[in-house]
């Protein structure tokens, strides 16, 4: 049995709490949060703690707070023997002051209330020492079939790739939704296209899967699209992405 304390009460903390609570080999013994209101959500799962001095002893401390707060919150755990790991893609392991430190980075997008299947989520691990790594491996393998050893530099690059493939793509969905809304069209019409776009790259390389006016070098359609937008940011994004796609494919035209 691995005992765990989660520090943080946000999106990831909620998902980890739910997953750990239904995993026999993991005992979630406490959740620490600075805000009593946000802590209450966890009360049906485990014990709560809002004072750093009351943080319980555990095998693993998972710091799931905002990236900027990781270093400060890790300062509450200096006297602990268990491994202290943060959960961030963009943060080096060495911001943690504990000697027994590591990283437990689940590569997925987590939003409160939107359930995910942890078993398929890649969990990227790093640890300062072999013993700590073994504990993190046991913890990760108890909830996921996709566990990887990824060092700080690789994780930084992976996080950058994730920002392009998830965060920027989602922002573009938002532009699509806004265009639909302005023209009284249901965004639902685009959902099968969104689904197929992500399905396609399971069997094709992104380069093969690309379609659209910029890939075809269709200047007439691109100019028409630009004239349909009055929002400067949308126009700039359209121009920049179209240019990048055109440059990539024009040798083939
Ligand atoms: N969400 C994702 O998709 C995702 C995916 C992979 C990894 N991660 C990583 O998981 C971590 C948490 O992300 P999240 O999305 O769960 O964030 P979040 O929903 O914004 O929650 C942030 C949490 O940090 C707490 N916090 C902030 N400053 C604090 C401080 N000084 N002391 C104590 N607690 C503090 C907040 O407490 P209050 O409620 O009191 O403000 C809140 O509980 C981050 O390192 C992030 O990089 C997130």
**Domains in the chain, CATH or no CATH each:** 2-150 (3.40.50.720), 155-252 (1.10.1040.20)
Q: Which residues of the chain have pLDDT under 50?
A: none
- pTM, two decimals, is 0.92
Residues whose CB falls within 8 Å of the CB of residue 184, separated by 6 or more in sequence, listed in order: none
Say how many C-beta atoms besides its own lie within 10 A of residue 159's C-beta.
16
Length of the chain: 253
| 106 Cβ inside 6 Å of ligand 1 | yes
Residue 206 Cα, ligand 1 centroid: separation in angstroms? 32
Say how many C-beta atoms besides its own lie within 10 A of residue 198's C-beta.
11
Task: Tokens for 21, please give them.
Answer: 């609570």
Q: Residue 170 forms beta bridges with which residues?
A: none
Residues whose CB falls within 8 Å of the CB of residue 78, separated by 6 or more in sequence, listed in order: 97, 98
Residue 214 Cα, ligand 1 centroid: separation in angstroms? 38
| 121 Cβ inside 6 Å of ligand 1 | no
Per-residue pLDDT, 232: 96
Cα distance between residue 74 and residue 65, in whole Å? 10
Phi, psi of 82 (to 5 degrees): -65, 165
Q: Can you tell me which atom of ligand 1 is nearest the CA of 12?
A: 16
Cα distance between residue 227 and residue 136, in whole Å? 54
Cα distance between residue 124 and residue 150, in whole Å? 6
C-alpha distances (whole Å) from 176 to each of 11, 20, 229 are 25, 37, 12
Per-residue pLDDT, 253: 66
Q: Can you tell me which atom of ligand 1 is nearest the CA of 68?
A: 28
Q: Can you tell me which atom of ligand 1 is nearest the CA of 110?
A: 3
Per-residue pLDDT, 130: 96
């Amino acid at each position: 049995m691995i005992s765990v304390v989660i520090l943080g009460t946000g999106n990831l903390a909620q998902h980890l709490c739910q997953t750990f609570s239904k995993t026999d080999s993991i005992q979630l013994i406490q959740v620490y949060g600075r805000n009593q209101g946000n802590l209450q959500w966890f009360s049906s799962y485990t014990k709560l703690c809002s004072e750093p001095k009351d943080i319980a002893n555990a095998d693993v401390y998972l710091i799931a707070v905002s990236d900027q707060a990781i270093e400060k919150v890790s300062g509450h755990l200096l006297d602990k023997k268990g491994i202290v790991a943060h959960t961030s893609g963009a943060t080096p392991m060495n911001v943690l002051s504990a000697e027994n430190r590591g990283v437990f980075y689940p590569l997925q997008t987590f939003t409160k209330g939107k359930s995910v299947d942890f078993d398929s989520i890649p969990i990227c691990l790093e640890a300062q020492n072999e013993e700590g790594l073994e504990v993190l491996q046991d913890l990760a393998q108890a909830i996921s079939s996709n566990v990887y050893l990824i060092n700080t530099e690789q994780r930084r690059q992976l996080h950058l790739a994730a920002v392009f493939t998830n965060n920027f793509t989602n922002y573009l969905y938002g532009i699509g939704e806004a265009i639909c809304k302005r023209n009284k069209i249901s965004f639902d019409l685009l959902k099968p296209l969104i689904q197929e776009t992500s399905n396609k790259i399971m069997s094709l390389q992104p380069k093969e899967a690309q379609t659209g006016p910029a890939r075809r070098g269709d200047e007439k359609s691109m100019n028409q699209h630009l004239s349909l937008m009055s929002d400067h940011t949308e126009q700039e994004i359209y121009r920049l992405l179209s240019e990048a796609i055109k440059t990539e494919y024009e040798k083939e035209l």
